[in-house]
Amino acid sequence: MRPGYPRSLREFTKLFADEAACRAYLARSRWPEGFQCPRCRHGEALELPTRLLWRCRSCGHDTSVTAGTVLHRTRISLTQWFWAAYLVSTQTPGFSALQLQRQLGLGRYETAWAMLQKLRRAMVRPERELLKDKVEVDETDIGGPEVGLRGGRHVIDKAIVVGAVEVRGKASGRVRLKVVPDVSGPSLTGFVKANVAPGALVLTDGWQGYAPLSGMGYKHRPRTQGPRERAGKILPLIHRAFGNLKTWLRGTHHGVGHAHLQAYLDEFTFRYNRRRTPMAAFQTLLGLGSQHSPTTYKQLYRVELNG
């Protein structure tokens, strides 16, 4: 079994008190059933702590416990990385580089910024599963002059975002979000194809850009709306997700440029999809979840459904 993750600050400080404790945790994540040499299958190894390597006692082969994770060949201590992942994954709505620098007592702002960037990159899982069964899809405008703010200040550059969310009864399942250049058929159906499993029931409004979906292996159910205000009733879940996204962008990230918007959408998606299991997100951020357990996401999802 893979090791669990801390469920509170108290557990965290107990589990990861020093470098040795963090190293042991990495080894347990890497070899849930105990060490096994990838070359000769031998079960005993000598730990080389300063290099984060395990050396097989039979054939001498070295195996890194950090390969494939953000911790690989880092100069930052493991305890600081673990703290960073903990703070970033458990703090809603998110963490700034300045906050991280202060909390970890890092000498340089740039170090904190680079750590955050790495952790953010870990928020996108390239192998992530497609949305399935029943999915709402719609697009929205993000940014532009904010109504009600003095002088029509630009909070975020104007952009079009297309989103999809799984319908689980009255609740939302997982979400996906993407910046698109326009609301043309290729932009919208391309997004659906990349994010929704074939055969799924796709609910959209009556916009013609979605019309090709039925010829692409989806059960497409377009619903014509009257006035724009009704869109929230036809597609309530994706509109709720858009609302949460806009609140989050306004509240946490003042002045997100168009160039960085997709990265923020990815972070929002990561947090949203793990909103009931923030501590499991901690493992994912460190890259410990995906190495030996391709079913991690399913397990997380099951937790979410039950929770």
- Binding positions for Zn ion, rule: CB under 5 A: 37, 39-40, 42, 56, 58-59, 61
Q: CB burial class (10 A; 0-12, 13-18, 19+) of residue 187?
A: middle
104-120 CB burial, b ≥16 within 10 A, e <16: bebeeeebbbebbebbb
Least separation, in Å, of the C-beta of 186 and Zn ion?
52
Of the pair 39, 258, the CB lying nearest Zn ion is at 39
Least separation, in Å, of the C-beta of 42 and Zn ion?
4
For residues 78 and 74, give the distance between their C-alpha atoms in angstroms, rounded to a whole number: 9
Q: What angle do CA 247, 253, 257 make, to 5 degrees?
A: 110
Closest CA to 101 of 83, 89, 119, 120: 83
Of the pair 56, 122, the CB lying nearest Zn ion is at 56
Of the pair 44, 133, the CB lying nearest Zn ion is at 44
Write out the two tokens for 184: 């043309």
Of the pair 41, 102, the CB lying nearest Zn ion is at 41
Write out the two tokens for 102: 């202060």
Location of structure tokens 């040499």: 37
Of the pair 61, 125, the CB lying nearest Zn ion is at 61
Write out the two tokens for 72: 């690989």
Residues with Cβ within 8 Å of residue 112, at least 6 apart in sequence: 97, 98, 100, 101, 104, 106
Least separation, in Å, of the C-beta of 51 and Zn ion?
17
Of the pair 57, 153, the CB lying nearest Zn ion is at 57
Least separation, in Å, of the C-beta of 41 and Zn ion?
7
Least separation, in Å, of the C-beta of 63 and Zn ion?
9
Least separation, in Å, of the C-beta of 38 and Zn ion?
8
For residues 244 and 79, give the distance between their C-alpha atoms in angstroms, rounded to a whole number: 33
